[in-house]
Amino acid sequence: IWDEDEGSEDEVPDIAEEDLDAVIPDTPSKRGRGRPKKDPTQIKRRKRSPTPPQNLPPHEQYFFQNRPGGTKTSSNTLSSLSLLNHEDYFAQLKAYTDPHANAKGFLQDLHARSFDQWAFELRLGFNICLYGWGSKRDLVMKFAEHLHHTFDTPPKIVVVNGYTSTLTLRDILNTLASQIIPKSAKLPAQPPALLDLLFSTLSTSPPPAPLTLLIHSLDAPPLRRPSTQAAIARLAAHPAIRLLATADTPTFPLLWDLSLRAQLNFLFHDCTTFADYSVELDVVEEVNSLLGRSGRRIGGRDGAGYVLRSLPENARSLFRILVAEQLAASESGPHNANGDAAPDPNSDGDDDGNGDDDDDGMLEPPTPSRRKRKPAANGVAAASGVEYRLLYHKAVEEFVCSSEMAFRTLLKEFHDHQMVETRRDGLGAEVLWVPFRRDELEALLEELVG
């Protein structure tokens, strides 16, 4: 008789070794770290449908339809764009046809009907300020022609381009003095003294007709200094001077306080023309500055080209030598004072010449002092300069200059235009270098050699 208790003993069924390996799970020591990876082929991706699910309430449908999309990051950068030059700009401008040319011409004719009123207001002792959107330069020049042809004795008209970046108060006063003070008189150097001389001359020998002063862009950056505005207000307050000025910024009234407003004695006219600021603004420079790369900051190829074309042959030859030596120095790498190649900063100096590593064969991680420096982002390493004495001897050999004084005179022209920078190296020697990118240096060298 089979006993039930006898069958309760532990019995292990016969299992093949292959099946046994499949049954026994991996131990923690055999399993990899982290969550086990899934098979990419078995992953079911949820497709995004533009159709909203059915039976959604209205507010849920609104949020579903206005849900944000996936973020897309572009690899394009502003530094990868090429700079705008004057040739491309004028080519695009020539090919462009303004669809509103007729409407702008109608505005010009509409404002020209007020020329007689403006002349009448000037004769009454008022000054005129023209404001509004668009360039008013052509309109003011037409008004100057109107004044010249209207009167039997044409008045003296002085035109000041306030948008010129190099304009100073002394330039304005010198222009006025050339029309009031005899040419044989000696003019003082300081603007306040020159302004007092103008007033004394106008008081002692007043002109037969008041002088008309036309200022384009009275609110331009070169004329925004309080001292300049105060001097212009003093000129406008004199009865022998009539002022007509234009303003281009919407905040131009903030330039004057109550006393200056009283001296200027302006009558304001809205002269919106919607004309292009083709003269007042340097479009090429403005576009390049928006890209963060100034093409005419003499730190760009185009600006350097303009300056070099206006310099004598000796200056261009010196700049050619400097650019060529800097490119050669950047290709050969850093050198020591003796002209030999500089030692590798990663070598520890204990190499016996056999090229063997340490006995244990393990590589020691580089310390901060042994890490290699990254190359400069502008394409030319900052250390790729030319020593002052080396450049001077090269210039003498090629008969660019005959003395060190003439050499420094040529370098001063480059320093004034920010085309050359100077620094001291580790040994205290003076090093010169051109702060342009490598591609710009190569292009400049081709132009100078050609």
Widest distance between CA atoms in the chain: 152
Closest CA to 132 of 158, 110, 100, 159: 110
Q: What is the pLDDT of residues 244-261, one digit of tens each?
A: 999 999 999 999 999 999
pTM of the model: 0.55
What does the pLDDT read at residue 333? 57
Give the whole-angstrom CA distance, residue 270 versus residue 68.
Answer: 45
| C-alpha dihedral (345, 346, 348, 351), degrees to nearest 10 | -110
Residues 140-159 have pLDDT tens digits of 999 999 999 888 788 899 99
Strand partners, 341: 335
The residue length of the chain stands at 450
For residues 417 and 357, the model is more confident at 417
- pLDDT digit string, tens, across residues 161-216: 999 888 889 999 999 999 988 888 888 888 899 999 999 999 888 888 899 999 99
CA 293 vs CA 166, 287, 385: distances in Å: 21, 9, 22
Backbone angles phi, psi at 316, to 5 degrees: -65, -35
